Chain A
Amino acid sequence: MKGALALTGLWQRWVWRLQSTLTLRMTLFYGALFVGVSILALYGTRMAIETYAEKSIRREMAVGSALFDRIAAMQVSQMAQAGNVLASDFGFREAVGTSDAPTIISALESLQGRFDLQHALFVGVDGTVVGHVPGMSVGEKNQLFDALDMGRERGVAHWGGENYMVAASPVRAPILTGWVIFARTMGPADLRQIARLSSIDLHPRILPQTGSDIGAGTVKEVARNGERILMQARSVPTLVESAPQILVLEYSLTRALRDYAPILWALLGFGALGAVLAIAGTFVASRRLARPIVALEAAARKVSAGQHAEVAVETRDEIGQLARSFNRMVNAVEERERQIAHMAFHDSLTGLPNRTLLREQIALALSRHGGANFALFCLDLDNFKSVNDTLGHPTGDALLCEVATRLGETCPQGFVARLGGDEFAVILPDGSGSADQTGRALVKALAQPFDVNGHRIVTGTSIGIVFAPQDGRDATELLKNADLALHRAKDDGKGSHRFFESAMDAEAQARRAMEIDLHDALRKGELELYFQPLFGLSQNRVTAFEALLRWNHPEHGMVSPVQFIPLAEETGLIVPIGEWALHEACRIAATWSDDIRIAVNISPVQFRSSTLNSIVLQALARSGLAPNRLELEITESLFIDNVEATLGSLHSLRALGVRIALDDFGTGYSSLSYLRSFPFDKLKIDRSFIIDLLEHDGATAIIRAITTLADALGIETTAEGVESSEQLEILRAEGCNQIQGYFFSRPIPAGQVAALLEKLSGDRLAA
């Protein structure tokens, strides 16, 4: 069992080896083919020789038996002739007629001597036999008479164990009185004598037909003493019909083939030699054929392992072409790999390294021995979004390319990368000038107008700067901190650069914590609405309250809206918070007297959400507040982009019956054109103008201009941030409709509204 397993293993290993090498396979195949062909040729030749030999022997046998017939016929006719001479002799006939035996015998003997005949007899018609043949029995004599009586005269006879060739001549005196018989022995010696005339020894024998195993007229092959012997038998004319005799010729086929053995041996030898040559030739040829394939295989293995490999092209044939194609393929693959690598690490638009490569570069620089000192600049274009929106993306892209070029020119020794969008970064190695100077240079360079696609574009940049290694241990931290610095730069007014300070990080973390808390604030009921009254100067009473959000943080106490509203807007939390505020404001306002309105601020984020209309409608429906008591305050920033959509939204809100007020009027990108496009119900003059009233002379003129304009358009005006009676007097004089500010009341919780109204109506300020 173990042995069989080992054998199977050996066989499998052998088969595997056979299948794995082309050389061995081809050698075996062609070797086997040649050996097969040689064996076939050898076999074919042997068959042909055998057939030829057998044919030759048969032909020789035919010739031999014909020869035997001829010779036998000749001898018989010779004897018959002699017999006829005697039979026609008158004296002999007289002796026969008178039954003169001594005369007959003497006559027979006389003729016997004359013709050299071996035996002579006379047989009378009455059956008497005169003369003598040694060993001839009475039965054989009677047989002879019967044959003669039946008219047979020639043929072979078997007397006394010997074969004789016999010729009988009838004696007529004048009627048939007997026969003269002449005979000669036809023993093996005589037959051999005849056989000697044939080219091969056919070993002729005469045998009785009965008892012999071969039929007359047939040829058959027998095996005797390990030899193949071809035997032919043919009947010979016999005197006694009842004892037919056959002539048997035979020849050893084995012996005949033995003569051809040298040819076969020579053929075998040449075949073996040929097979050896064929195997050797195929081995050499297939090795030559397989060598380039092996080389190709090795090269392919190297390529798949990521190494560069080429194979030598040695020939012009198919394999040479394969080698050429392989080399072309390797080059093409490598080229594509380079392209893909470039794409992976570079920005396709500007061709600058991308964020990935920048991070790698930072990691590389940080890992250098001892840690390198370098500065990382993060840049963000100012107002790039409006360039894209107003001039289209192709122009925006072209601008980015120009910016990239300018960055490279400004920092020739720096590593410039594009982080995405309008963000860029520069790594500046230590010792290539002060970071502050570079920051300035960059801001200045990008502040220069760009000429792009026929447009003159003025943009600017804000830059955050960090130093490695002190501002961060890795690329992530460095980039994050640079980003914080960048945001600070943006917050501090665009077009400047800021260095990262660790406080920024703390602030950012605080901001993040607040973001998380704000997320829960609404659910935990930490938010609250405060209300600040708007005092109608002509009515001389409180005509409305503005709802203001307050966050009562469980740890930090009251959080200023200035702090958390921008955060809510950034994170999108303003949408649910705004919805809650609308509902809450309407619910509380509904408890007031009908002549007091409620004003609610709508954030731009909230305004752009598609659900605002339905939320307003719900708030009104649920509180039962009359739509005209609700005043929605929006800011001018909504008109900066997509004026059409903003106008559409305003009209649909107006269709609900609510009032629309424009907040912080005069501070933003004020364009008077939209005052014409939409009939606002109210303008709220920004507090900055009100503060200026007492300090700048021109401020009064601006207030007048606004109130006059609003008057002309039929729009109410509200002044915000009124803190003194002087301000009140000026505003009243300039025709302002409503006053809002600490002069009357700071924002108060809902519960104090009633008391406030009481108090204000109590000491109603008649001027």
Chain B
Amino acid sequence: MPNLRFALILLSCTASPVVAGDLNLKLVDAAGRPVSDAVVSVRPAGGIPAGPIRFPWPTTMIQQNVAFVPHVLIVPVGATVRFPNKDKVRHHVYSFSRPAKFEIKLFGQDETRSYTFKTPGAVAVGCNIHDQMTGFIKVVETPFAAKSDAAGTARITGMATGTAQVTIWHPLLRAKDNELVVNVPIPGSGAVSKTVPLTLRAAR
């Protein structure tokens, strides 16, 4: 993993010789509690550098204990996500989301299928057998993306200096397409910290 990150940084340095800055976001709800599982994606000033996008986490969404793990998965456009079944029961994974409509029926135990996401956007994944199972796959076009942790923080590094367009997505965010866009000036070096309050829907 450190190797991978290092490679990424190296890559960006070679692509753009300008100095780069970091972004530290803290996401809280209306009551000030940290919001986890929010996806932060950034379009830095000067646009997204060309080249393939790689994230340091696997593009896999496991069905384990009648739940999707991880609950929220960030993948780049064109990535193929594997859906391994680690439960003894069967699952019928489906999505009616516009970026990716698919249906993967009746997996057996330890059976793995995959689906390739070609359109960016948020894809809600469910199981037709177990209604309570939901998971989200966020298909992004930028390498600058991260998921907030349990403390509600997300850290994105090595972005070009200038005003960056930061998009925050959360499945319960009360906004069009569950997205909120903010502009954040990224410094030449060092990190900018920002706390963003989010208005969330009640979980249903």
Q: Give Cα A170–Cα B203 distance, bound, in whole angstroms.
A: 12
Query: Among A86-94, A187-195, A694-702, A719-727, which stretch is in contact with chain B?
Result: A86-94
Q: 1/0 contact trace for A693-714 toward B, CB 8 Å?
A: 0000000000000000000000
Q: 1/0 contact trace for A163-190 toward B, CB 8 Å?
A: 0000000101111110000000000000
Q: Give Cα A94–Cα B133 distance, bound, in whole angstroms.
A: 16
Residues on B with beta carbons closer than 8 Å to the beta carbon of A175: 124, 126, 134, 136, 171
Residues on B with beta carbons closer than 8 Å to the beta carbon of A151: 202, 204
Shortest distance in angstroms between B186's beta carbon and chain A's nearest beta carbon?
A: 32
Q: Give Cα A134–Cα B125 distance, bound, in whole angstroms.
A: 37
Q: What number of B residues sit within 8 Å (CB to CB) of A?
A: 17
Q: Name the residue in B96, B97, B126 with the highest tally of chain A Cβ atoms < 10 Å from its Cβ.
A: B96
Q: Give Cα A93–Cα B97 distance, bound, in whole angstroms.
A: 11
List residues of B (19-43) whose CB comes within 8 Å of A's CBs.
none
Secondary structure call for the A interface: mixed
Q: Give Cα A90–Cα B97 distance, bound, in whole angstroms.
A: 14
Tell yes or no: B127 within 8 A of A by CB.
yes
Residues on A with beta carbons closer than 8 Å to the beta carbon of B127: 174
Tell yes or no: A98 within 8 A of B by CB.
yes
Tell yes or no: A536 within 8 A of B by CB.
no
Shortest distance in angstroms between B130's beta carbon and chain A's nearest beta carbon?
A: 9
Give chain A's interface residue range (CB within 8 Å of chain B).
10 to 19
Residues on A with beta carbons closer than 8 Å to the beta carbon of B136: 175
Given A93-B96, A98-B96, A98-B101; A174-B126 close (CB under 8 Å)? yes
Q: Give Cα A90–Cα B134 distance, bound, in whole angstroms.
A: 15
Q: Give Cα A174–Cα B127 distance, bound, in whole angstroms.
A: 8
For A96, give the chain B residue with the smallest CB separation: B96
Q: Give Cα A94–Cα B103 distance, bound, in whole angstroms.
A: 11
Q: Give Cα A183–Cα B106 distance, bound, in whole angstroms.
A: 37
Q: Give Cα A16–Cα B201 distance, bound, in whole angstroms.
A: 94
Shortest distance in angstroms between A92's beta carbon and chain B's nearest beta carbon?
A: 11
Query: Do residues A173 and B126 form an inter-chain contact, with CB atoms below 8 A?
Result: yes
Q: Give Cα A176–Cα B133 distance, bound, in whole angstroms.
A: 13
Shortest distance in angstroms between B20's beta carbon and chain A's nearest beta carbon?
A: 36
Query: Do residues A170 and B101 form an inter-chain contact, with CB atoms below 8 A?
Result: no
Q: Name the residue in A88, A93, A170, A173 with the highest tally of chain B Cβ atoms < 10 Å from its Cβ.
A: A173
Q: Give Cα A151–Cα B201 distance, bound, in whole angstroms.
A: 9
Q: 1/0 contact trace for B123-160 toward A, CB 8 Å?
A: 01111100101101000000000000000000000000
Residues on B with beta carbons closer than 8 Å to the beta carbon of A88: 131
Partner of A170, one of B94, B97, B133, B204: B204
Partner of A173, one of B96, B133, B201, B202: B96
Residues on A with beta carbons closer than 8 Å to the beta carbon of B96: 93-94, 96-98, 173, 177
For B203, give the chain A residue with the smallest CB separation: A176
- List 7 tightest A-B contacts by C-beta distance, closest first: A97-B96, A174-B126, A175-B124, A174-B134, A173-B96, A90-B128, A176-B204
Q: 1/0 contact trace for A89-121 toward B, CB 8 Å?
A: 010011011100000000000000000000000
Residues on B with beta carbons closer than 8 Å to the beta carbon of A176: 204
Partner of B133, one of A98, A174, A177: A174
Q: Give Cα A172–Cα B134 distance, bound, in whole angstroms.
A: 10
Shortest distance in angstroms between B137's beta carbon and chain A's nearest beta carbon?
A: 12
Residues of chain A at the chain B interface (Cβ within 8 Å) = 88, 90, 93-94, 96-98, 149, 151, 170, 172-177
For B127, give the chain A residue with the smallest CB separation: A174
For B93, give the chain A residue with the smallest CB separation: A174
Query: Do residues A173 and B101 form an inter-chain contact, with CB atoms below 8 A?
Result: no
Residues on B with beta carbons closer than 8 Å to the beta carbon of A96: 96
List residues of B (76-109) whose CB comes within 8 Å of A's CBs.
94, 96-97, 101
For B174, give the chain A residue with the smallest CB separation: A149
Shortest distance in angstroms between B127's beta carbon and chain A's nearest beta carbon?
A: 7
For A177, give the chain B residue with the smallest CB separation: B96
24 examples of A-B residue contacts, CB within 8 angstroms: A88-B131, A90-B94, A90-B128, A94-B96, A96-B96, A149-B201, A151-B202, A151-B204, A172-B126, A172-B131, A172-B204, A173-B124, A173-B126, A174-B94, A174-B124, A174-B125, A174-B126, A174-B133, A174-B134, A175-B124, A175-B126, A175-B171, A176-B204, A177-B96
Residues on A with beta carbons closer than 8 Å to the beta carbon of B94: 90, 174
Residues on B with beta carbons closer than 8 Å to the beta carbon of A172: 126, 131, 134, 204
For A90, give the chain B residue with the smallest CB separation: B128
Q: Give Cα A176–Cα B178 distance, bound, in whole angstroms.
A: 12
Secondary structure call for the B interface: loop
Residues on B with beta carbons closer than 8 Å to the beta carbon of A174: 94, 124-127, 131, 133-134
Shortest distance in angstroms between A322's beta carbon and chain B's nearest beta carbon?
A: 99
Q: Give Cα A88–Cα B131 distance, bound, in whole angstroms.
A: 8
Q: Give Cα A177–Cα B98 distance, bound, in whole angstroms.
A: 12
Q: Give Cα A173–Cα B131 distance, bound, in whole angstroms.
A: 9
Shortest distance in angstroms between A447's beta carbon and chain B's nearest beta carbon?
A: 156
Q: Give Cα A232–Cα B131 distance, bound, in whole angstroms.
A: 44
Shortest distance in angstroms between B189's beta carbon and chain A's nearest beta carbon?
A: 40
Q: Give Cα A90–Cα B95 distance, bound, in whole angstroms.
A: 11
Residues on A with beta carbons closer than 8 Å to the beta carbon of B124: 173-175
Residues on A with beta carbons closer than 8 Å to the beta carbon of B133: 174
Residues on A with beta carbons closer than 8 Å to the beta carbon of B128: 90
For B128, give the chain A residue with the smallest CB separation: A90
For A88, give the chain B residue with the smallest CB separation: B131
Q: Give Cα A281–Cα B204 distance, bound, in whole angstroms.
A: 86
Q: Give Cα A175–Cα B204 distance, bound, in whole angstroms.
A: 8
Q: Give Cα A88–Cα B101 distance, bound, in whole angstroms.
A: 18
Residues on A with beta carbons closer than 8 Å to the beta carbon of B126: 172-175
Q: A151-B202, A175-B124 known; 14 other A-B pairs, CB under 8 Å?
A: A90-B94, A94-B96, A96-B96, A172-B134, A172-B204, A173-B96, A173-B124, A174-B94, A174-B126, A174-B131, A174-B133, A175-B134, A175-B171, A177-B96
Shortest distance in angstroms between A88's beta carbon and chain B's nearest beta carbon?
A: 7
Shortest distance in angstroms between B199's beta carbon and chain A's nearest beta carbon?
A: 12
Query: Do residues B97 and A97 form an inter-chain contact, with CB atoms below 8 A?
Result: yes
Shortest distance in angstroms between B82's beta carbon and chain A's nearest beta carbon?
A: 19
Residues on B with beta carbons closer than 8 Å to the beta carbon of A94: 96
Q: Give Cα A88–Cα B130 distance, bound, in whole angstroms.
A: 11
For A126, give the chain B residue with the smallest CB separation: B176
For B133, give the chain A residue with the smallest CB separation: A174
Q: Give Cα A245–Cα B112 distance, bound, in whole angstroms.
A: 55
Shortest distance in angstroms between A241's beta carbon and chain B's nearest beta carbon?
A: 15
Q: Give Cα A170–Cα B127 distance, bound, in whole angstroms.
A: 17
For B124, give the chain A residue with the smallest CB separation: A175
Shortest distance in angstroms between B132's beta carbon and chain A's nearest beta carbon?
A: 9
Residues on A with beta carbons closer than 8 Å to the beta carbon of B125: 174
Q: Give Cα A175–Cα B126 distance, bound, in whole angstroms.
A: 8
Shortest distance in angstroms between B197's beta carbon and chain A's nearest beta carbon?
A: 20
Q: Give Cα A90–Cα B105 distance, bound, in whole angstroms.
A: 13
For A170, give the chain B residue with the smallest CB separation: B204
Shortest distance in angstroms between B99's beta carbon and chain A's nearest beta carbon?
A: 12
List residues of B (189-204) whose CB comes within 8 Å of A's CBs.
201-202, 204
Shortest distance in angstroms between A154's beta carbon and chain B's nearest beta carbon?
A: 15
Shortest distance in angstroms between A80's beta carbon and chain B's nearest beta carbon?
A: 15
Q: Name the residue in A88, A90, A96 with the highest tally of chain B Cβ atoms < 10 Å from its Cβ.
A: A90
For B129, give the chain A residue with the smallest CB separation: A90
Q: Give Cα A170–Cα B136 distance, bound, in whole angstroms.
A: 19
Q: Give Cα A617–Cα B120 distance, bound, in whole angstroms.
A: 181
For B135, give the chain A residue with the smallest CB separation: A174
Q: Give Cα A174–Cα B202 distance, bound, in whole angstroms.
A: 16
For B125, give the chain A residue with the smallest CB separation: A174
Residues on B with beta carbons closer than 8 Å to the beta carbon of A170: 204
Q: Give Cα A175–Cα B172 distance, bound, in whole angstroms.
A: 9
Shortest distance in angstroms between B160's beta carbon and chain A's nearest beta carbon?
A: 34
Shortest distance in angstroms between A89's beta carbon and chain B's nearest beta carbon?
A: 10
Residues on B with beta carbons closer than 8 Å to the beta carbon of A177: 96
Residues on A with beta carbons closer than 8 Å to the beta carbon of B134: 172, 174-175
Q: Give Cα A149–Cα B96 distance, bound, in whole angstroms.
A: 21
Residues on B with beta carbons closer than 8 Å to the beta carbon of A149: 201
Q: Give Cα A170–Cα B134 distance, bound, in whole angstroms.
A: 15
Q: Give Cα A96–Cα B131 distance, bound, in whole angstroms.
A: 16
Residues on A with beta carbons closer than 8 Å to the beta carbon of B204: 151, 170, 172, 176
Q: Give Cα A725–Cα B152 distance, bound, in whole angstroms.
A: 197
